[in-house]
Amino acid sequence: MAKQLTSRAENYSQWYNDLVIKADLAESSAVRGCMVIKPYGYAIWERMHDELDRMFKETGHVNAYFPLFIPKSFLSKEADHVEGFAKECAVVTHYRLKQNPDGPGVVVDPAAKLEEELIVRPTSETIIWSTYKNWIQSYRDLPILCNQWANVVRWEMRTRLFLRTAEFLWQEGHTAHATEAEAMAEAQKMLHVYADFAENFLGIPVIQGVKSANERFAGAVETFCIEALMQDGKALQAGTSHFLGQNFAKAFDVTFVNKENKQELVWATSWGVSTRLMGALIMSHSDDNGLVLPPNLAPYQVVIVPIYKNDEQFKAVEARILPLVDQLKAAGIRVKYDNDDTKKPGWKFAEYELKGVPVRLAMGAMDLENGTIEVARRDTMTKESLPLDGIVGHVKSLMDVIQKNIYQKALDYRKSVTRTVDTYEEFKVEIEKGGFLLCHWDGTPETEEKIKEETKATIRCIPFDGDKTPGKCMVTGKPSKQRVVFARAY
């Protein structure tokens, strides 16, 4: 078959690339590092968007839209932020092209140079806090709970579809608060929203925790994260939420009059997830046959394929399928009926396996006689013939079963490769096998840096849950408050 994927065992990285291309999720574009998100990939992203948007609104947030461009000087206002983001970014220097005087085509018009260069936003803290300055005078103007759905650009040198692209789509929440406690609670609340979304919608188990100083967002006081584990044993940061303290309020002079009539700096958070989640999704569940989608997320949850040898059989089968399509839709199931007669059933089966449709129903002449229908599950690759009677209820309950199974499978895998390691010697051996390693660490950036240099492993997070027994750092032997999560990461 033309669409066969490289197997994961053979070459995991190639398998990922094959899958993204062959399942029509995305492809590289003519612009270095920028991707085209194809309709099927975009439909999955839209499902993520819609569910997250619902969750944000349910927790009191509203959407807004801020400019694509950031004046260069804004980036320098927060010292750590500029260090983290100014380096690799797209810089707009001119605002006009003109006919090439020396040949064909167009050239940049040197007369149209901007007085101050504009940066295509790599993240929007600076432009948003320069705006919030005008929105906030008194404690009555707080909190501000805004989210933005947008494209951002970070000029990455090595790019991979969804995982690391120069342009990507994301949402970025930016909130402003009167007190430190409220901002801290917000940052943690949104982390929990992300964890809930990842686990219950994407079926991806995540560890929630706080980043070490080395891995903190540029400009944050504290960065919280959800960390997922891919099937190759590498970690992937699936979302972050930052407590920004008063850093951006200071940088942009954003103050408010509190209830006691005193001027104070405003407290901030920001939080985001991106099209990188598409990569996390693919690498958490998919197999050598293609994508595996949890039913909550799947653009189509069920596909129905008619099996027939002639037009008469086709008509008879279709007469039974059409009412079923309506019944499934009425039961709230997203269903596709594929009656394209230029494609063979075998081709369709492979295609929908590749695309990860959770349930495939097939009905032929024999089924008509027997009053049955073939039900195939994508997650287990099993199929069975079931009575047509009651099939809607069965399919509906299958949605839950599959959603849970996909999550459980990922969780079981994670558990199987999460180990406690006590010595650095053992660590060096174990890290080669992948997975999460729970180890004691002395809390210093120096030790973390040494481990990273020697093993390519980083501290994914200091987990909220889990064993809080103190111990001794596996490298330096100095005291450690609790085990932290190490892994090699995407």
Q: Which residues bind a copy of itself (CB under 8 A)?
A: 27, 29-31, 34-39, 42-43, 45-46, 62-76, 82, 86-98, 104-106, 108, 117-120, 127, 130-131, 134, 140, 146, 150-151, 153, 155, 167, 169, 342
Tokens 């609670």 -> residue = 185
Which is nearer to a copy of itself, 21 or 386 (by Cβ)? 21
> Given the complex with a copy of itself, which of 9 and 111 has the nearer CB atom?
111
Q: Are 256 and 142 in contact (CB under 8 A)?
A: yes
Residue 239 pairs in a beta bridge with 226
- Which is nearest to 405 in space by CA: 385, 384, 422, 382? 382
Output 96 or 344, the one with its CB closest to a copy of itself.
96
| Rounded CA separation 149/386 (Å) | 44
**Beta carbon nearer to a copy of itself, 105 or 390:** 105
Please give the Cα distance from 73 to 429 (Å, whole number).
47
> Closest separation between CB of residue 16 and a copy of itself, Å?
20
> Measured from the CB atom, is 121 or 414 closer to a copy of itself?
121
Dihedral of CA atoms 181, 185, 188, 194 in degrees, nearest 10, equals -150
One DSSP character per residue, 403-451 reads HHHHHHHHHHHHHHTEEE--SHHHHHHHGGG-SEEEEE--S-HHHHHHH
- Quote the radius of gyration of the chain (alpha carbons, Å): 26
User: Is 221 within 8 Å of 479 (Cβ atoms)?
Assistant: no
**In the bound complex, what is the minimum distance in angstroms from residue 201's beta carbon to a copy of itself?**
20
Q: What would the two tokens of residue 336 be?
A: 């596709």
Cβ atoms within 10 Å of 468's Cβ, excluding its own: 10
In the complex, what is the shortest distance from the CB of residue 62 to a copy of itself, in angstroms, rounded to a whole number?
A: 4
- Which one, of 34, 42, 33, 44, lies nearest residue 285 by Cα? 44
Report in angstroms how near the CB of residue 92 gets to a copy of itself at its nearest: 5
Residue 312 parent element (H or E): helix 311-330
State which residue, 166 or 475, has the beta carbon closest to a copy of itself: 166
Q: Show the beta-strand stretches assigned E in 144-188.
A: 144-153, 167-177
Distance CA 337, CA 322 (A): 8
Provide the minimum distance between the beta carbon of 334 and a copy of itself in the complex, in angstroms, as a whole number.
12
Min dist. Cβ of residue 385 to a copy of itself (A): 33
Smallest gap from residue 157 Cβ to a copy of itself (A): 9
Rounded distance, CA 391 to CA 135, Å? 56
Task: Tell me the closest approach of the beta carbon of residue 193 to a copy of itself, in angstroms.
Answer: 19
Task: Supply the minimum distance, in Å, between the C-beta of residue 54 and a copy of itself.
Answer: 12
Distance CA 125, CA 248 (A): 7
**Which CB, 278 or 474, lies closer to a copy of itself?**
278
Q: For the chain, first and last CA: distance in Å?
A: 31
* Cis peptide leading into residue 479 (ω within 30°): no
Given CA atoms 335, 338, 339, 345 in this order, what sign does their dihedral have? negative
Smallest distance from a copy of itself to CB 214, Å: 21
**Neighbour tally for 308: CB within 10 Å:** 19
Residue number with CB closer to a copy of itself (146 or 206):
146
Q: Which of 77, 488 has the CB closer to a copy of itself?
A: 77
Judge contact between 285 and 293, C-beta under 8 A. Answer: yes
Residue 153 Cβ vs a copy of itself, minimum distance, rounded to whole Å: 7
Comparing CB distances to a copy of itself, the nearer of 175 and 231 is 175
User: Residue 248 or 407: which CB sits closer to a copy of itself?
Assistant: 248
